[in-house]
Amino acid sequence: MALTRASFGLIHALNPKRTTLNFKLSMATSTRALASYIVEPAELAKALEASPPLASPDTPRVIPISAEWYLPNDSRKGIEEFGKLRISTARFFDLDAIKDHDSPYPHMLPTGETFSRAMSELGVAREDTVVLYDSPQLGIFSAPRAAWTFRVFGHPRVHLLNNFKVWVEQGFPVEKGPVGQAARTQYPVTEPDLSLVSSFEKMREIAEEGGREGVQILDARPQGRFLGSDPEPRPGGFSLAVNYGDTLLLHSGYDCELVDPVTKKLRSGEELGRILLSKGVDPSGEVEKRLMCGTGVTAAVIDSALQLAGFGGKREIYDGSWTEWALRVDEKSGLISKKQI
């Protein structure tokens, strides 16, 4: 029989040491009930009902975390939108703050110390199950990047909600207004798993070879930005990357191919599989996928889509993505063609 909080109170009086251990083990099991990386709203709601209160960081919990973020040319701000509407008990993951502040590029991965400090301030413990989500307007956009960051730093239980828009429409608990300070935890400092990350040096090697057999590069930007016909959302010139080989475009922005335009959910695994195949993505485990976008944010949408579709092959996100490439590669190299918009 499952150990509930009601039965725990009675049994604990008879054998406090043993029941405390059993209760912690029981509740830890309940927080691992999310079976897959992609989580539906009803599934998260059920897990939250079974989760210990967030005021008890000594016991593993399920914690929803908003990572809503908007492009620089959008007047909305993630933290402000979070205050207007959020999942009850949610925390806020600020992509503009939890990053490498010494880097000239917008969203490079934070150091282990920075990530540890941010998680401690958010009241997240290493044993907690975290479920990342986006704004109800965008559905799936920046939360995959935050989820990927958790994975890079080896957080054991990380999930992506599909999605907050549907959560709201189905009437699950929400709240608004000022957010209280979470009880601080002591999140350990861990080293990043660089096998999930593509560096500038890795990408340059492939570009200098004119592409590499067994490696596909998937760019999440819209075609207009890739070709340089549409302006960048950030100040500065615009350019066209060349000599990566056969770079495949899989738009994963606001109205992308991988997300349903009405529900704003990631499409089903079957639908995603057809789209990926139509774009020339190799489903086999023998072909590596290097994913990029403007600053390394929406490339993680492709990462999630590949996982949901069951496509094999090692996946790496180019952390600096187009912004780093454009600033570090000279036109004389033949690896880039720049034009001002």
Separation CA 331–CA 328 (nearest Å):
10
Burial class (CB within 10 angstroms; exposed 0-12, middle 13-18, buried 19+) of 250? buried
Q: Is 293 a catalytic residue?
A: yes
Alpha-carbon distance 114 to 188, whole Å?
A: 11
What gap in Å lies between CA 31 and CA 183, rounded to an integer? 19
Tell the burial category of 117 from Cβ atoms under 10 Å away from its Cβ (0-12, 13-18, 19+): middle
Residue found under tokens 């994975």: 151
The string of DSSP codes covering 84-112 is HSEETT-EE--TTTSS-TTSSSTTPPPPH
Tokens representing residue 251 in the block: 């738009």
Other Cβ atoms within 10 Å of 201 Cβ, number: 7
Q: Which residues contact 121 (CB under 8 A, 6 or more apart)?
A: 182, 184
The one catalytic residue among 293, 306, 309, 335: 293
Catalytic center residues: 293
